[in-house]
């Protein structure tokens, strides 16, 4: 789930090494509908995005929207892994502003079963690309080890 086309295109290009089947959704609402209708192994989740795709008002944008998506994933017990890909260091909630590190701690506490990690996106750097690929590779290796251990 990513609302910015440029960022989505960068992610798509980086992930091409895995030859994945990608589905692009630009809001919480359309992303959650897609999760209800189809099974996915991974979700790359932007933390700050519109609630609905059709509305362009300022009230439609939520800098903490990804947390709502994570709550729904846990509530509905979807079987997938989540990587947060964000371009922000701070997130405004109704009560306060939290840092990316604080956000990570909260996600780990509440959604550890689903959460792989986060990538700090920066279009001017390649560091985020390495971080994303490393998270995916480590997760795939771990899943292969678990499958081999369980099949014995």
User: pLDDT tier at 23 (50, 70, 90 boundaries)?
Assistant: very high
Residue 55 in this model has a pLDDT that exceeds 80: no
Cα distance between residue 56 and residue 94, in whole Å: 20
Residue 60 in this model has a pLDDT that exceeds 90: no
Q: What is the largest CA-CA distance in the chain?
A: 55
Q: What are the chain's domains?
A: 5-140 (3.40.50.2300)
User: pLDDT tier at 71 (50, 70, 90 boundaries)?
Assistant: very high
End-to-end CA distance of the chain: give it in Å, rounded: 37
Residue 2 in this model has a pLDDT that exceeds 80: yes
Give the mean pLDDT of the chain. Answer: 90
User: pLDDT digit string (tens) for 78-137?
Assistant: 999 999 999 999 988 778 899 999 999 999 999 999 999 999 999 999 999 999 999 999
What confidence score (pLDDT) does residue 144 get? 67
Q: DSSP per residue over 83-152, as a string?
A: EEEES-SEEE-SS-EEEHHHHHHHHHHHHTTTEEEEEE--TT-SHHHHHHHHHHHHHHHHHHHHHHHHT-
Residue 142 in this model has a pLDDT that exceeds 90: no
Torsions phi, psi for 3 (to 5 deg): -90, -15
Q: Is 34 exposed, middle or buried (0-12, 13-18, 19+ CB in 10 A)?
A: middle
- Does an H or E element contain 69, and which? helix 65-75
What confidence score (pLDDT) does residue 139 get? 85
> Residue 58, CB half-sphere, CA atoms under 13 Å: how many?
0
Residue 31 in this model has a pLDDT that exceeds 90: yes
């Amino acid at each position: 789930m990513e609302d910015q086309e440029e960022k989505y295109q960068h992610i798509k290009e980086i992930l091409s090494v895995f030859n994945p089947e990608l589905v692009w959704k630009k809001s919480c609402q359309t992303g959650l509908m897609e999760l209800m209708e189809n099974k996915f192994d991974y979700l790359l989740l932007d933390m700050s995005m519109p609630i609905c795709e059709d509305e362009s008002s300022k009230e439609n944008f939520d800098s903490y929207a990804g947390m709502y998506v994570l709550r729904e994933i846990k509530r509905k017990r979807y079987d997938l892994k989540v990587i947060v890909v964000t371009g922000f260091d701070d997130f405004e909630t109704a009560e306060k502003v939290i840092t990316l590190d604080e956000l990570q701690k909260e996600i780990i506490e509440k959604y550890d079963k689903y959460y792989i990690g986060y990538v700090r996106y920066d279009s001017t750097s390649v560091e985020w690309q390495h971080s994303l690929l490393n998270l995916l590779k480590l997760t795939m290796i771990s899943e292969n080890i678990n499958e081999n251990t369980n099949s014995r």
